[in-house]
Amino acid sequence: MTALCVLALALAGCGGPGKDDAETTVRDFAKAANARDGDGFCRDLVTDDFVDAAFGSEKTCRAQLKGLKNNFELVAIEKVTVDGDKATVVATIQSGGQRSKQTLDLREDGGKFKLTGGAQ
pLDDT at 10 over 80: no
User: Could you write out the DSSP letters of every residue in 56-103?
Assistant: SSHHHHHHHHHT----EEEEEEEEEEEETTEEEEEEEEEETTEEEEEE
56-78 residue pLDDT tens: 999 999 999 898 888 889 999 99
Query: Could you read off the pLDDT of 96-115 as tens digits, one per residue?
Result: 889 999 999 999 998 999 99
Cβ atoms of residues 46 and 113 within 8 Å:
no
The pTM assigned to this predicted structure is 0.80
The type of residue at 10 is A
CA angle 93, 96, 98 (to 5 degrees): 55
Q: Is the pLDDT of residue 91 over 60?
A: yes
Q: Which residues pair with 88 in a beta bridge?
A: 81, 105
> What is the reported pLDDT for 95?
87
Give the residue extent of every domain in the chain. Answer: 20-118
Q: How do residues 24-45 score in pLDDT, each as one tens digit?
A: 999 999 999 999 999 899 999 9
Residue 118 has pLDDT above 90, yes or no: no
Q: Are 16 and 85 in contact (CB under 8 A)?
A: yes
CATH topology of domain 20-118: Nuclear Transport Factor 2; Chain: A, (3.10.450)
